[in-house]
Structure 1
Amino acid sequence: MVWLGPPWLLRIFFLASHVGAAVDLTLLADLRLTEPQRFFLTCVSGEAGASRGSDAWEPPLLLEKDDRIVRTPRPWQPPHLARNGSRQVTLRGFSQPSDLVGVFSCVGGAGPRRTRVLYVHNSPGAHLFPDKVTHTVNRGDTAVLSARVRKEKQTDVLWKSNGSYFYTLDWHEAQDGRFLLQLPEVQPSASGIYSATYLEVSPLGSAFFRLIVRGCGAGRWGQDCSKECPGCLHGGVCHDQDGECVCPPGFTGTRCEQACREGRFGQSCQEQCPGTSGCRGLTFCLPDPYGCSCGSGWRGSQCQEACAPGRFGADCRLQCQCQNGGTCDRFSGCVCPSGWHGMHCEKSGLGDGPSASAKVQDGHTSALAGPPG
């Protein structure tokens, strides 16, 4: 049995994820591993202090399931938490499918930079499934949550927000096999966990979403939203409290202007995806207000689909507009021929770096350890 917790817990829960400037903290899940016994989550920190020992970065990383919103029975055998030094922690050893459904969190950093990264896991066998799990919008925007029908039932669909009833849709109101929830002119108080469930169906069959509402309108940050964001590139999101760009996995730089080498991520491109298939099948969750996405060059509900020609970046959300013979690389964008540079190869001359729309950053390789055996 699964139940949604009381809404009064949400105020503490979601404020905690926005405290202080974001640290270099990434929570990864391998979406290809659908069996509970094989599934694992890994949280890794790229902070300088984390690599010098646990006494240099107190308290240590925490990785756990958060049952304050979606509660499931405790497993017969609790998941195993394994540490690889002080910079990486892995949670694995789940016993049943219901153990995987819900909200997981990784907490790292100390003092005002204490940061919580959240991941929402949906059951692959659910009746309804989100087209996109994490949505980040600006204050005043219209947010649209889309639940795709996988197993149709001729009953109403119940939407909940932070564990409480929110809205009901008649089953006839499905549009192209999807139930849509539109939230006009959203405010930060609308942030939280949303779910769509057929009536009389176990919540395990629900579609779960996370909505992140920035505290300012588009392109603004600061306590009174009077400051202008730097113009984050390649899908980066401007932090509404400090104005810094939170870059998508695979990009770095103050404006996310540099692309990491294929298969790398982290604020300095210092981390490397485990295994031989690069970042295929992995979802990356970063500090708010970014949320979660596939790695650069990948898309789909399991992050296993390569970008279509002409698309690139995390979730393949970006479109190449290459000029002057430039070609589109699905990981970094336009690769320019000799004599051209710029985002779209629109500038002539040698430029000041590699001939790619996003200069490629080498980083220093720090391969993540795979799940413990």
Structure 2
Amino acid sequence: MLRKIAVADLTLGMYIHEFCRPRANDPFWTLHVERELRDEAVLQRIQQSSREVWIDTGRGNSPDEPNPPQVQAPTTVALGDTAPASMDEELARARLICGRAKAAVMTMFSDARMGRSMNTEDVDLLVEEISNSVMRHPHALISLSRLKTSDEYTYMHSVAVCALMVALARQMGLSDDQVREAGVAGLMHDVGKMMIAPAILNKPDRLTAEEYQAMKYHPQAGHKILKGSQQVTAVVKDVCLHHHEKMDGSGYPHGLKGEEISMFARMSAICDVYDAVTSDRPYKKGWDAASSIREMASWRGHFDEQIFQHFVKTIGIYPVGTLVRLKSERLGVVIEQSEQSLLRPKVKVFLSTHSRASLEPKVVDLTHPLEQDAIVKFELAADWGIEDVDRMWAADAATPV
């Protein structure tokens, strides 16, 4: 049952359905609707910034309860929740995060286009939520964020690069502050695209040489947007300006080479390209994750080789969603990475490669001590007439957010 209550009566454990928003363009209000209130800091901000709120008493505590029950394990995402979760559990959470994050990034980028200042508190809040998801399960949100439609690419690309930067920074052993800064840089690296003509940015065909030159201005445009803000760090501004530089000096806008490129910009170059090449665009279908890793590894002079090796360890040699052939002549899709071995993930098998007959779907854990099966090679879905591999590992979660 929906009820409108004063924020003074709002308590932890209540389920927020909607705000009577005082600031419609503030991403904070987008991030915290349709969820159980579990964070004291969020409660305090709501009580300081609003007067009334709609709650759903059928999904959370009611103000009529004299002694509200203790809040149990969360059914939705809580900002401070970093306890490990299974892939299935985190996929459900990640879907909610992706939806909220897309709306928040759209608002932030729209503000940038209109010349309004960015609310860094809300950026930090969004990065924290993405970072916590990566901590709970490092592959759920990263895998799900690849499943984006072409019309939402610009916004979801920023969310995906944020998650990849956070995961990569953690894998590299960077400090918590550096991990957060890497996430913010990933989220804001493409803000300059808001200053590119929509006809170019959203063109359903390949760009002409002239249009490509116009598109190449987006790093400078983004840096121009961010450089006036004292709240945006030098690292974030640098990543925005230099995420298209290459180790051999052939990148843009400044043709920086090797160590002239900052560590964070070298990280972002890898994360940016990986999400770009694995995403469907109007003029091309994205590469599968495993093929992308192999292709990127062959681009000599493009990426920092040491950081790229860290990136491979971050997402796996056979990333989630990779179609693989097993020694047992079964075809399957990777559904989860193994902490024990990059070569032995969990695979959902569903087809006989010998007879091409469908099999009853079964999850094979290749790290199990009694499991004798192993991956022989990765396969291309088109070679097997499979149109949607992602449905086989993400089920309903594979629907683009």
Q: TM-score, normalised by structure 1?
A: 0.25
* Greater strand share, structure number: 1
TM-score by length of 2: 0.24
Structure 1 or 2, whichever has the larger Rg, is: 2
Query: Larger % of helix: which?
Result: 2
